A and B are shown apart, each in its own frame.
Chain A
Amino acid sequence: GIQVEQSPPDLILQEGANSTLRCNFSDSVNNLQWFHQNPWGQLINLFYIPSGTKQNGRLSATTVATERYSLLYISSSQTTDSGVYFCAVPSGNTGKLIFGQGTTLQVKP
């Protein structure tokens, strides 16, 4: 089955810094999603991004489907950005997702 790898596994930033998270996938996909899991466990859908670039405030994401990777940019990081960031790609046609192992981000004040 399709493999999803995320890097780096852990990231510590000072508040105000920028960061780039990467997601590689092993096979062609027709969409990719980024999620943020806050320290209380809630998973929030950040982006649905099959290709191209999308921006939402300080966050933006780019997917290059032909090269099988996606990037999540966080600019001017805040302590509330802390948590785990997951990327996920679909498997089959039932909507089930294959998740990467996540990047744990800690933003220090």
Chain B
Amino acid sequence: SQTIHQWPATLVQPVGSPLSLECTVEGTSNPNLYWYRQAAGRGLQLLFYSIGIDQISSEVPQNLSASRPQDRQFILSSKKLLLSDSGFYLCAWTWGTGVPGYTFGSGTRLTVV
């Protein structure tokens, strides 16, 4: 069976510090991978998606970047965090559009202080 792992669960970082959130999927190959952010407990905003290694698309211009160093690994990064980067970050995977099985990781709650 497929599983998705996301870490860390919580993170408190000072303004201006770097960020690295990691997401790994097990039990499948060539998944579509996504990073979403949720602010104030409502509404998920898509940040990045990847349909393959070296194929990463950004949805919203911002202070973040994403990389996919391996087929089943998706990393969200920032060189210098802003207060506005605080939020709940969720990684997700699926086999593609038009098929069921959209699965989310457990999320990372980031607080920038």
Where the two chains meet, the residues of A that have a C-beta atom closer than 8 Å to any C-beta of B are: 30-31, 33, 35, 41-45, 48, 84, 86, 88, 90, 92-102, 104
Complex CA–CA separation, A44 to B51 (angstroms): 22
14 A-B contacts (beta carbon < 8 Å): A31-B98, A41-B106, A42-B107, A44-B104, A48-B101, A84-B42, A94-B51, A95-B49, A96-B46, A96-B59, A97-B102, A99-B43, A101-B42, A104-B42
Report yes or no: B34 in contact with A96, Cβ–Cβ below 8 A: yes
| B14 interface residue per 8 A CB criterion | no
Complex CA–CA separation, A98 to B88 (angstroms): 17
Report yes or no: A86 in contact with B97, Cβ–Cβ below 8 A: no
Interchain CB contact (< 8 A) of A95 among B43, B44, B90, B94: B94
Interchain CB contact (< 8 A) of A101 among B43, B51, B106: B43
Report yes or no: B100 in contact with A48, Cβ–Cβ below 8 A: yes
Complex CA–CA separation, A99 to B38 (angstroms): 11
Residues of B contacting A97 in the complex (Cβ-Cβ under 8 angstroms): 34, 44, 46, 102
| B96 interface residue per 8 A CB criterion | yes
Residues of A contacting B44 in the complex (Cβ-Cβ under 8 angstroms): 86, 88, 97, 99
**Given A86-B44, A95-B97, A97-B46, A45-B109 contact (CB < 8 Å):** no
A52 to chain B, nearest CB (A): 14
| B27 interface residue per 8 A CB criterion | no
Residues of A contacting B109 in the complex (Cβ-Cβ under 8 angstroms): 41
